[in-house]
Amino acid sequence: MVIPYRGRIKVDDHAAHRILGLPMVGEHINYAKNSFADTYEEFYKVFNHENDQKAPTFTEAENWLLGEGKKRSDTLWLWYWLEFAINSFLCPTSNPSLCVQAFHAIADIEKINKYNWRKLIVEKLIRGITEFNEVGKKSVSGCLFLLTVRWIIPPCVFLFTQCKLFCFCPTI
């Protein structure tokens, strides 16, 4: 990726591993709409939207987590928290609702740690930037935290001299 006045920065699986601490192995998470049709029904049931088939908003999920969810420590709480984290931090979009596409990866609690989350995060970020540049979207989707940290850290050169830390960073 090339950023004006900064140059080329590499956003890849290794960067996601270093910055977010995600493991470097795991199964690919298929985010294609046809790959998780079996979890649609479960998603709407978990989030109490089986009648209207609408995804809950972030506000609904946040209210549940801060209200009823405070008293729980079960699978339902974990689903709410993970959906909120994935959709707001790891793979955010400009949509104000939670994404049913993320649910298939967390529906089976035993498989959550077997997925390649860093690859998904990098793919979604690169797709978001590409859509912004080429399609003309008004916002960038993807983990902007990863992009920001990746952009800030490389200009800093740390020197350890006589137990002192000097940081030479570009100034504004």
3-state secondary structure the chain: CEECCCEECCCCHHHHHHHHCCCCCCECCCCCHHHHHHHHHHHHHHCCCCCCCCCCEHHHHHHHHHCHHHHCCCHHHHHHHHHHHHHHHHCCCCCCECCHHHHHHHCCHHHHHHECHHHHHHHHHHHHHHHHHHHCCCCCCCCHHHHHHHHHCCCCEEEEECCEEEEECCCC
The pLDDT score that the predictor gives to residue 155 is 47
Write out residues in the chain with pLDDT < 70, as ranges: 1-6, 32-37, 151-172
Beta bridge partners, 41, equal none
Task: Give the separation between CA 131 and CA 147, rounded to whole angstroms.
Answer: 16
CB 105 within 8 A of CB 14: no
The pLDDT score that the predictor gives to residue 159 is 36
Question: What is the residue range of 76's domain?
Answer: 2-168
CB 148 within 8 A of CB 118: no
- Total domains in the fold of the chain: 1
CB 48 within 8 A of CB 89: no
Give residue 98's identity as a one-letter amino acid code: L
pTM (2 d.p.):
0.76
The pLDDT score that the predictor gives to residue 1 is 67
Give residue 109's identity as a one-letter amino acid code: I
